[in-house]
Amino acid sequence: MKAVLNIAHRGASGYCPENTMAAFERCIELGATAIETDVQMTADGRLVLIHDESLQRTTGLPKLVKDVTGDELWELDAGSWFSPAFKGERVPTLEDLFELVKSRSLQVNLELKNGVVQYPGIEEAVIEATRRFGMSDRVILSSFNHYSLAHCKRLAPEIRTGILYMEGLYEPWEYAARFGASALHAYHYAVIPEWVSQAAARGMAYHPFTVNEPAEMRRLIQAGVAGIITDYPDRLAELLKTMED
């Protein structure tokens, strides 16, 4: 069986507050071979890792990420909403994550959250940080905003991109190839063996999201996907081990 990337969705978000250093550190312990996270920008241009455009759900502040500075964001508690045990966890920066993984062999999937809120210059800033940390060969940029991914590919042809989409995209491998993407980050119900095979024949990898049940993980592995995005990297690690035995 070929190697399958174990991609931790927002870190080990099944066990820790999503997109925090606790979640990233824990997913490494649980066997993840890649980390998926979301990138947005503060009012003063800091690249920060948070899923929602609003800070309400994970920090309790009724403001948008784009309307606070990096220093203001750092003062917020991004852990207590999940459990009192994580009180004091912060919203990390992209640099924080790169510092954690740069000496390891993990890959990093950066989802650019520039659909609802537009962040002028986010592509340039993410690419600059990726190159500065020497991570170009270990990063894949994804987004539901495919115009943004096409822009990324023009700016940095050496960095891989993956299109995020839900159901019903016809021959997504042909569509993705038009702007140089190399991976399909599809909702897992939109993945069947025939499509995986057709994509692979064209050099296109499938990384379905978000897959938490072992039975569905097994189905996708047997279908031939190159990676799986999950909240529970330990479940996937254990399943991969049993399927290799």
Q: Is 207 a catalytic residue?
A: no
What whole-number distance in Å separates Cα of residue 156 and Cα of residue 78? Answer: 32
Tokens of 175: 């569509």
- Whether residue 105 contacts residue 120, with contact meaning beta carbons closer than 8 Å, is answered with no
Phi/psi at 197 (5° precision): -65, -45
User: Catalytic site residue 9?
Assistant: yes
Burial annotation 114-130 (CB, 10 A radius, 16+ → b, else e): beeeebeebbebbbebb
Cα–Cα distances (Å) from 73 to 19, 59, 78, 81, 221, in that order, read 14, 9, 9, 16, 39
**Catalytic annotation, residues:** 9, 51
